[in-house]
Amino acid sequence: MIYHRIRALREDKDWTQQYVADLLGVNRRTYSAYENGINTMSPEILVALAKLHNTSVDYLLDLSDEP
């Protein structure tokens, strides 16, 4: 599930939800909803997260185990 991976990547870097939300240009509540699987993210946000974490979209989507 995507939300498990984006949370784990953020926590591995000791980043707050607010920090990532600011980098993405969304509010913290929106980003929190992404991490909790409440909201689905746009393709643009998905790509931005992959770039931010230096990983592939496939990894975020759980289509690959290779970051």
Whether 42 is in a domain gets the answer yes
Structurally, the chain folds into a number of domains equal to: 1
CATH code for the domain of 37: 1.10.260.40
Instruction: Give 5-46 pLDDT, tens digit per residue.
Output: 999 999 999 999 999 999 999 999 999 999 999 999 999 999
The pLDDT value given to residue 67: 84
CA separation for the pair 39, 3 (Å, rounded): 10
Whether 29 is in a domain gets the answer yes
pLDDT score of 62 more than 70: yes
46-51-52-56 Cα dihedral, nearest 10 degrees: 70
Whether 67 is in a domain gets the answer no
Whether 65 is in a domain gets the answer no
Structural domain span for residue 36 = 2-60
For the chain, the first-to-last Cα distance in angstroms comes to 14
Would you place residue 1 in the very low, low, confident or very high pLDDT band (cuts 50, 70, 90)?
A: low
